């Protein structure tokens, strides 16, 4: 007896749980990185419970998995919360099951750490060890307070070099914001754009694919990927496959290439602090506050939703938020009659 068409045709089979979850996430326009992270947590949750279907599991099993992450895996509070959000999405949006309040989850500890901030001399020493695209990107991170992915996602249309301004599109929290282009970068940026334009025109003559576009805009502007304004400021040297359309496209430079370059520059500059790309953003905020700029102005430039997030930089300023001076510094030398030999006169 021959199998029916429904049984033999893979396309006729109902999609799996993770395929449905991916479709629901794309319907809600979640970022690709969020989609990948959520799917990873769903897989780990299912594997943790011996590959049982989540519909057969419930709040106790979710609490058990989240507690395991905190107690056994020692994950951070942010990581545990991301796993929680992924599982809530799975139950609410995919399985359409409303979980009760999770009271019995052991929460991961949330460490309150101050950001690493370099001196201005250390920043100059770090930047001096870079060249090419990593040099320009690192200068934008420090000069405009950008996050690394915000700099890599910049497109030609986001720059207004004449006004000394650039627009960060779809930053953290899905918000746009404006920040400055340092005046010292105007000439290097124009030279970079000139080289990029020549490369772009050669790409069009060769009939190469255009750059990747957000899914909704790709439908609205089907030829946008080959237009000059939509080109990435820092394009990748190789093509990749679009995760949504499945066609070859050109994406932006990979973040690991810049991270490795900055790490190499930190070693060459002989810096003792564990600086990174994010450190340059921290330095931008701290040095502006040291120069006397209003904290709310710095908040807007950084794109912080809460002023408390920006306030952390007041604790790493050169003289502190209130310019407090130690009582030991009131006298410029040891008290009269005291010994200068350690351990004596005590």
Active-site residues, by number, are 147, 172, 252, 281, 304, 313
CA distance 163 to 189: 13
**CB burial of residue 165 (10 Å; 0-12, 13-18, 19+):** middle
Q: Is the separation of the CB atoms in 156 and 228 below 8 Å?
A: yes
Question: What number of CA atoms fall less than 13 Å from residue 142's CA on the CB side?
Answer: 26
Q: Is the separation of the CB atoms in 84 and 66 below 8 Å?
A: yes
Structure tokens at 172: 């953290």
SS3 content of the chain, % helix, strand, coil (to 5): 55, 5, 40
Max CA pair span of the chain:
109
- DSSP character at residue 283: H
Q: Which residues pair with 333 in a beta bridge?
A: none
Q: Is the separation of the CB atoms in 224 and 230 below 8 Å?
A: yes
């Amino acid at each position: 007896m021959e199998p029916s068409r429904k049984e033999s045709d893979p396309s006729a089979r109902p999609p799996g749980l993770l395929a449905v979850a991916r479709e629901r996430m794309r319907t809600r326009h979640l970022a690709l990185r969020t989609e990948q992270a959520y799917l990873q947590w769903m897989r780990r949750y299912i594997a943790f419970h011996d590959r049982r279907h989540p519909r057969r599991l419930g709040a106790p099993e979710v609490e058990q998995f989240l507690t395991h992450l905190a107690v056994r895996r020692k994950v951070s509070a942010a990581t545990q919360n991301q796993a929680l959000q992924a599982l809530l999405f799975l139950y609410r949006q995919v399985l359409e099951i409303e979980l009760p309040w999770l009271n019995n989850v052991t929460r991961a500890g949330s460490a309150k750490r101050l950001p690493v901030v370099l001196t201005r001399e250390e920043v100059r020493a770090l930047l001096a060890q870079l060249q090419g695209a990593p040099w320009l990107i690192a200068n934008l991170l420090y000069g405009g307070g950008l996050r690394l992915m915000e700099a890599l996602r910049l497109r030609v249309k986001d720059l207004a070099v004449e006004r000394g301004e650039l627009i960060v599109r779809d930053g953290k929290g899905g918000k746009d914001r404006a920040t400055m282009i340092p005046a010292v970068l105007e000439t290097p940026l124009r030279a970079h754009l000139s080289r990029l334009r020549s490369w772009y025109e050669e790409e069009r003559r060769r009939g190469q694919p255009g750059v990747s576009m957000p899914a909704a805009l790709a439908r609205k502007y089907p030829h946008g990927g080959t237009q000059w304004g939509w080109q990435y400021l820092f394009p990748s040297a190789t093509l990749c496959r679009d995760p949504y359309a499945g066609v070859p496209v050109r994406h932006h430079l990979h973040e690991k290439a810049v991270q490795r370059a900055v790490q190499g520059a930190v070693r060459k500059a002989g810096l003792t602090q564990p600086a990174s790309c994010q450190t340059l953003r921290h330095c931008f905020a701290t040095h502006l506050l040291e120069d006397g700029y209003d904290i709310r102005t710095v908040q807007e430039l950084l794109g912080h939703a809460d002023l408390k997030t920006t306030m952390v930089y007041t604790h790493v300023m050169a003289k502190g938020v209130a310019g407090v001076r130690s009582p030991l510094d009131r006298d410029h030398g040891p008290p009269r009659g005291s010994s200068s030999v350690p351990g004596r006169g005590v």
